[in-house]
Amino acid sequence: MKPVTLITGASSGIGAELARAFAAHGHELVLVARRADRLNALADDIAKAGHPRPQVLASDLEQRDAVAKIAAQLQLLELEPNFVVNNAGFGLMGDAATLDRDEQLGMIDLNVRALTELSLTFVDSLSRHRGGLLNVASIAAFLPGPGMAVYYATKAYVLSFTEALHQEWAGRGIKVSALCPGPVPTEFQARASMELPGAAKMIELPPDRVAQIGYDGLMRGQRVVVAGLGNKIAASFMRFAPHALLLRAVDQRTGAGKDR
């Protein structure tokens, strides 16, 4: 079985840049997302840059059987992951009570369930190759997020789960890191029906920079990788400031629904 780096959410934003970063460091890739056309365009680009062309697996990770199908396809291709990068994810802005409930549950299926299943499914091959697991959380993981309640909660899960695996898997020779980006201009904002607030510009980083920071942090064996100095300061503040104060400041809802 040939070792490959499996990257989810590679059809845009941070995931596409993570694919370029891993390819540039000599990793052979399997790219996963729903939009096969985007994945194939990225695979062509990576091949044009002189790297092996990545395999493309179109998959909707909100589906219960998605990870089992990916595992079966890899087996058929005689590939096994030495690195897994769980990057696919989305958020939704608004009152949790009025946002579409199925969409919010779908967010949990993607951001939490699929990430957990992909993390655990390949543990033996990650260990055999002394590889790694990079899970993309967010600085949203460090506090509750009124206005994006389910999203922030999913990222708190990703951070907690990943830090625990970092400890559990140290003895298996697997590097495990949680990447916590702050604001990054990608398709994320349109999908979440939000705009980056003006203040976010001060700590915003481009997706390629975030990807490189994530790659380097994983390879160094860093447990939690907060991308950028501004976000490190923000994350420390979020960790230690009283939630009672922060919850009002963080509330991203606008208009009549905002409960102040």
Ligand X SMILES: NC(=O)c1ccc[n+]([C@@H]2O[C@H](COP(=O)([O-])OP(=O)(O)OC[C@H]3O[C@@H](n4cnc5c(N)ncnc54)[C@H](OP(=O)(O)O)[C@@H]3O)[C@@H](O)[C@H]2O)c1
Selected from 6, 21, 23, 33, the binder of ligand X by CB under 6 A is 33
The active-site residue out of 151, 152, 157, 215 is 151
Q: Does 9 bind ligand X (CB under 6 A)?
A: yes
Q: Does 145 bind ligand X (CB under 6 A)?
A: no
Degrees, nearest 5: CA angle 168-174-179:
85
Q: In sequence order, which ranges of the chain are alpha helices (DSSP H)?
A: 13-24, 36-48, 66-76, 101-108, 115-121, 123-128, 149-168, 188-191, 207-220, 229-240, 243-250
Pairing state between β 55-58 and 79-86: unpaired
Selected from 53, 128, 172, 191, the binder of ligand X by CB under 6 A is 191
The SS3 of residue 76 is helix
Number of chain positions touching ligand X (CB under 6 A) = 31
Q: Does 70 bind ligand X (CB under 6 A)?
A: no
Beta bridge partners of 133: 84, 176
Closest approach of Cβ 173 to ligand X, in Å? 26
Q: Does 14 bind ligand X (CB under 6 A)?
A: yes
Beta bridge partners of 2: 79
Closest approach of Cβ 200 to ligand X, in Å? 8
Q: Does 35 bind ligand X (CB under 6 A)?
A: yes
Q: Does 2 bind ligand X (CB under 6 A)?
A: no
* 151 in catalytic set: yes
Stretch that binds ligand X, among 23-31, 118-126, 185-193, 251-259 (CB under 6 A): 185-193
CB atoms closer than 10 angstroms to residue 83: 25
Closest approach of Cβ 139 to ligand X, in Å? 7
Closer CB to ligand X, 32 or 129, in the complex? 32
Instruction: Quote helix, strand, coil % in the chain, to nearest 5.
Output: 50, 15, 35
Encoded tokens for 253 = 């809802």
**Interaction with ligand X in 219-258: which residues (CB under 6 A)?**
none
Contacts of 140 (CB under 8 A, 6+ apart): 91, 148, 151, 152, 155, 156
Q: Does 61 bind ligand X (CB under 6 A)?
A: yes
Closest approach of Cβ 196 to ligand X, in Å? 7
Selected from 22, 152, 157, 188, the binder of ligand X by CB under 6 A is 188
- Least Cα distance to 134 among 90, 170, 93, 85 occurs for 85
Q: Does 181 bind ligand X (CB under 6 A)?
A: yes
* Active site members: 151
List residues binding ligand X (CB under 6 A): 8-15, 33-35, 38, 59-62, 87-91, 110, 136, 138, 181, 183-184, 186-188, 191
